[in-house]
Amino acid sequence: MNIIEIFTKSLFLIISFDRDLWEIIILSLYVSIVALIFASIFGLLIGYCLALRNFLFKNFILVVLNSLMGIPPVVVGLIVYFIFASGGPLGVLQLLYTPYAMIIAQVIIIFPIVTSISHEIFDQNWREYKDQLRSINMPFFGIAFIITKHSYFLVITALLSAFGRAISEVGAVMIVGGNINHFTRVMTTAISLETRMGNLEYAMALGIVLILLTIIIYSLVYIFNKRKLWSK
CA distance 121 to 141: 16
State pLDDT tens for residues 125-182.
888 877 787 777 777 777 778 887 778 888 888 899 899 999 999 999 999 999 999 9
Sign of CA dihedral 46, 52, 53, 58: positive
CATH fold, domain 18-231, is: MetI-like fold (1.10.3720)
Question: CA torsion, points 41, 183, 163, 83, in degrees to nearest 10?
Answer: 60
Q: Please choose, from the candidates 207, 108, 225, 119, the residue with its C-alpha nearest in 3D space to the C-alpha of residue 162.
A: 108
Say whether pTM exceeds 0.75: yes
Domain boundaries, the chain: 18-231
| Amino acid (1-letter code) at residue 42 | F
What is the pLDDT at residue 20? 94
CA atoms within 13 A on the CB side of 162: 32
pLDDT of residue 137: 77
Percent share of the chain, pLDDT over 90: 67
